[in-house]
């Protein structure tokens, strides 16, 4: 009797292996783009099931379709992130994460998007908090003014102001430290400096001194680099004049140095060029005098006119030009008559 019962139970278990319609369940899962469920159904189907060979043939295609779908989700989420539609991007990934066979790539993208979103949000918050800090710093007497009122509303407003200041200092400090960790020293300095200005009784963040030092050094390096470039250009212009001796080359060098007259790095260049300019000016003035004395008024005028840009306000030169112009006008009148 026991032997018959055991045989019947074994037959029943064997028959159960052929029950159900996993192929239909896989199809329904695929219609819903649920590739993880489709793969799980195939993996859980017994080799004794009659649909097992067919499902095994489908398995590779399910995995490939899952990979394609995952890539599509990632591309669409990245596009939403570029559009700064963060809520839509996260909703898309989170709602479809469990439908793909290997969701690790989606998890990595979610983590990456969270970092990008955090950066943008921190920048937005930094701009807002900086504006709030500047507004508060622009009205430093507001707390004292409110303290002079007897009205209870003023006391309540003063309390709110003090709470706002404390929260603002906390946010400025937190954001400043974040940007310092990101080595974005300019916003870190500005935020932490505002925090210290609003709460001068509290010690400043050590990151403030570090940001100021780094930015000062960067400014020095940038100025040194720019000065070297200016010095190189000045030396090239001056060397060109030394090579060709043309007045236009001297004027070009002088104009360049005049544009940077407040830069002490070019002081030696300006001093040297001034000596050249004075010497050339005197030479051209003498040449014009000699031409004028020989009655070559037009040539004298041309020489003096060409050298005038070196010292356009020179009184002696301007008188010579005016006198020569009158002579030329008189000569022209005589020729016409």
SS3 content of the chain, % helix, strand, coil (to 5): 85, 0, 15
Whose tokens are 């930094």? That residue is: 126
Q: Where do the domains of the chain lie?
A: 11-102, 126-140+159-204, 222-336
CA 257 to chain centre: 32
| Tokens standing for residue 39 | 């793969």
CATH class of 222-336: mainly alpha
Helix axes 86-96, 104-137, angle to 10 degrees: 160
pLDDT tens, residue order, the chain (337 aa):
444 434 333 444 444 444 689 999 999 999 999 999 999 999 999 999 999 999 899 999 999 999 999 999 999 999 998 898 999 999 999 999 999 999 998 999 999 999 889 999 999 999 999 999 999 999 989 989 998 999 999 999 999 999 999 999 999 999 999 999 999 999 999 999 999 999 999 999 999 999 999 999 999 999 999 999 999 999 999 999 999 999 999 999 999 999 999 999 999 999 999 999 999 999 999 999 999 999 999 999 999 999 999 999 999 999 999 999 999 988 888 887 6
Q: Is 314 left (phi over 0), alpha (psi -120 to 50) or beta?
A: beta
Greatest Cα pair distance, the chain, in angstroms, is 154
Please check whether residue 29 is in contact with residue 41, taking contact to mean a CB–CB distance below 8 angstroms. Answer: yes
């Amino acid at each position: 009797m026991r032997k018959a019962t055991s045989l019947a139970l074994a037959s029943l278990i064997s028959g159960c292996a052929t029950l159900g319609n996993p192929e239909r369940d896989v199809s329904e899962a695929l219609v819903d783009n649920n590739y993880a469920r489709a793969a799980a159904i195939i993996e859980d189907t017994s080799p004794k099931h009659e649909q097992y060979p067919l499902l095994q043939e489908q398995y590779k295609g399910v995995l490939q379709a899952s990979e394609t779908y995952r890539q599509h989700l990632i591309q669409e989420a990245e596009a939403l992130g570029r559009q700064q539609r963060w809520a839509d991007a996260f909703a898309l990934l989170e709602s479809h994460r469990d439908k793909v066979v290997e969701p690790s790539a989606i998890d990595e993208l979610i983590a990456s998007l969270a970092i990008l979103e955090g950066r943008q949000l921190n920048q937005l918050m930094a701009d807002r908090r900086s504006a709030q800090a500047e507004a508060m710093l622009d009205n430093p007497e507001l707390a004292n003014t409110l303290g002079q009122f007897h009205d209870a509303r003023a006391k309540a407003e003063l309390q709110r102001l003090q709470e706002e200041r404390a929260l603002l200092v906390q946010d400025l400090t937190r954001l400043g430290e974040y940007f310092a960790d990101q080595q974005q020293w300019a916003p870190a300095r500005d935020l932490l400096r505002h925090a210290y200005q609003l709460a001068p009784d509290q010690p400043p963040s050590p990151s403030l001194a570090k940001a100021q030092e780094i930015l000062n050094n960067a400014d020095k390096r940038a100025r040194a680099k720019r000065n070297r470039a200016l010095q190189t250009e000045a030396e090239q212009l001056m060397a060109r004049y030394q090579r060709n001796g043309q007045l236009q080359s001297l004027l070009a060098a002088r104009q360049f140095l005049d544009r940077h007259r407040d830069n002490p790095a070019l002081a030696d260049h300006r001093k040297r060029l001034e000596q050249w300019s004075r010497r050339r000016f005197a030479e051209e003035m003498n040449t014009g005098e000699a031409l004028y004395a020989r009655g070559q008024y037009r040539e004298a005028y041309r020489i003096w006119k060409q050298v005038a840009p070196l010292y356009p306000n020179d009184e002696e030169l301007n008188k010579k030009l005016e006198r020569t112009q009158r002579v030329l006008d008189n000569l022209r009148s005589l020729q016409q008559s």
